[in-house]
């Protein structure tokens, strides 16, 4: 079954691509969710106009993400976590904690954007990769410290 994608579909194609899919996938998923349309002449003409507008919006969004990536590179995030005397954390620091710390500094980074090899389990300074979208990647410095002693 041949369809024209109206949205980007992961592992299938970008918007405007003519793709060959199995009939069940097209009929039961792509068409009902508005991700694809039947390749008629009218639909292709509408899609070309829509594609231009989306391309302009995509370029503007990519430029905004590049500015955000530059801001993030200059920032060091400090996260407090309970640890023993040797510096081993009792729990771990993961993507949600890093995302929350960045949001506290007015940097809109979701937990899905954080790329960790595994959870952080030591008190130290880490360079964590972030994938912001539209092929924009950056790094943020994350300092994991023990909380100050409370009296």
Give the pLDDT confidence of 123-135 residue by residue, as tens digits.
999 999 998 888 8
| For residue 84, pLDDT beyond 60 | yes
Buried b (16+ CB within 10 A) or exposed e, 61-80: eeeebeebbeebeeeebebe
Is residue 3 a contact partner of residue 16, using CB atoms and an 8 Å limit? no
Question: Would you state the structure tokens that stand for residue 39, as one six-digit string?
Answer: 């390749």
pLDDT digits (tens, 9 = 90+) for 44-75: 787 778 778 878 888 888 888 899 889 989 98
Query: What is the average pLDDT across 72-83?
Result: 91
pTM: 0.67
């Amino acid at each position: 079954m041949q369809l024209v994608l109206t949205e980007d579909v992961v592992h299938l194609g970008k918007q405007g691509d003519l793709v060959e899919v199995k009939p069940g996938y097209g009929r039961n998923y792509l068409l009902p969710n508005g991700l694809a349309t039947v390749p008629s002449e009218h639909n292709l003409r509408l899609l070309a106009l829509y594609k231009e507008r989306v391309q302009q919006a995509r370029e503007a969004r990519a430029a905004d993400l590049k500015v955000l990536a530059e801001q993030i590179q200059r920032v060091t995030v400090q996260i407090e976590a309970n640890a023993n005397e040797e510096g081993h954390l009792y729990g771990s620091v993961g993507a949600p904690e890093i995302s929350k710390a960045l949001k506290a500094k007015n940097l809109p980074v979701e937990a899905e954007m954080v790329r960790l090899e595994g959870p952080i389990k030591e008190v130290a300074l880490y360079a964590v990769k972030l994938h912001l979208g539209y092929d924009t990647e950056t790094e943020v410095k994350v300092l994991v410290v023990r909380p100050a002693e409370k009296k």
